[in-house]
Amino acid sequence: MINADGLTLRLWTEADVPALVAAYADPDLRRWTQLHADTVPAALAWVAVQRDGLANRTRYGFAIVGSAGGPILGTVALKRADPDGPRGEVGYWTTAPARGRGLAPRAVSVLTDWAFAAFPELRAIDLRHRLGNLASCRVAVKAGYPLIETLPPEAPGRDGGHLHTRAA
């Protein structure tokens, strides 16, 4: 559990499945994310991805809550394809009612500070978003992740993206 800047970041559990299903009822959340948790089986699988990632040190996924025991406001995760490598990647979303209050930039900043302190070998964290996701671009800039480059579409007919990176 991480407590900083008035936020608590805590690990996901299966008790969070109803809150996950409710959050993923939002079409914007489904539009901009790849792994959906909009049914009970999908949400159980989503929680298992967080748990397995923690076990193999490739994903540190946290629920964002205003205080311990409070309702879920979003998620933020540090992903490490190489668990001992110098680069990581951050991912996040906030629930529809929690948006527009600077929550995601705060949570990304808290996770980033924690990650650089917890993993001294980690030298840079990347943040990728699709070009059309202007809200996510604002999160990157407000969380101190400058734009590094514009990325080509991953497949024909798809949107390109932005790579933002914050160095340790």
Ligand X SMILES: CC(C)(COP(=O)(O)OP(=O)(O)OC[C@H]1O[C@@H](n2cnc3c(N)ncnc32)[C@H](O)[C@@H]1OP(=O)(O)O)[C@@H](O)C(=O)NCCC(=O)NCCS
Binding part of the chain for ligand X, among 26-34, 39-47, 52-60, 77-85 by CB under 6 A, reads 26-34
Eight-class DSSP state of 23: H
How many angstroms separate the Cα of 62 from the Cα of each of 95, 145, 153?
Answer: 14, 20, 29
Under the binding rule (CB under 6 A), the answer on residue 52 touching ligand X is no
* Type and span of the H or E element at 30: helix 27-32
Residue nearest to ligand X (CB): 100
Answer for the pair 36, 42: CB distance below 8 angstroms, yes or no.
yes
Q: Is 164 in the site for ligand X (CB under 6 A)?
A: no
Please report whether residue 129 would count as binding ligand X according to CB under 6 A.
yes
Site membership for ligand X, residue 46 (CB under 6 A) = no
- Alpha carbons 79 and 90: distance in angstroms, whole number: 6
Residues in contact with ligand X, counted by CB under 6 A, come to a total of 22
Q: What is the rounded CA–CA span in Å between residue 146 and residue 38?
A: 32
Residue 132 engages ligand X in binding (rule: CB under 6 A): no
What proportions of the chain, in percent to the nearest 5, are helix, strand and coil?
35, 30, 35
Site string for ligand X, 64-103 (x = CB under 6 A): ----------------------------xxx----xxxxx
Q: Which residues bind ligand X (CB under 6 A)?
A: 28-29, 32-33, 92-94, 99-105, 129, 133-136, 138-139, 142
